[in-house]
Amino acid sequence: MSGVGGKQHNRILKETVEELRELGYNAIITQNISPDGIVVINDKIIAIEVLAKPSDKQIINKKERYSMFDDIIFRTFKREPIKLDEIEKQRIEAEKKAKDIVDSFLPELIKNTKIKDGVVNFK
């Protein structure tokens, strides 16, 4: 996962797996497949799932999806909001890139365009 939410997700998952290992359990991160991780506790195979602000419906869906596991450990986190300053900065950069692109081909387009009787013809 990328972005702020993805980084938080990965951090929580890593911390969870490390905590379980410190307790002596065999725990792994499944590397981009579902569930996020798996741990064996007292001969039970348990899914590890990290969710941002889970809804009841989402938890029910995960329980159905992972019904082959003996149980599920849910860890949750709240996404950090993206700062408006950063969004504005990205918007300004995107507008500048778009303007540069248009400015780079516009003179050639005008030079090679002929308008006669309201019809645009390209040379």
Q: In what order do the strands lie in the sheet with 71-77?
A: 26-29, 37-41, 44-52, 71-77
**Radius of gyration from C-alpha coordinates of the chain:** 26
- The yes-or-no verdict on residue 51 having pLDDT over 90 is yes
Sign of CA dihedral 54, 65, 3, 76: positive
Summarised one tens digit per residue, pLDDT across range 80-118 is 766 667 778 888 888 888 888 877 776 776 666 677 776
Q: Which amino acid is at 93?
A: E
pLDDT band with cut points at 50, 70 and 90 for residue 11: very high
Task: Give residue 15's pLDDT.
Answer: 95
In the structure encoding, which two tokens stand for residue 108, read together? 């050639």
Place of tokens 């702020």: 4
Helices (H), the chain: 3-22, 56-65, 84-111
Q: Which residue has the higher pLDDT, 100 or 55?
A: 55
pLDDT digit string, tens, across residues 68-78: 999 999 999 88
Helix (H) or strand (E) holding 25: none
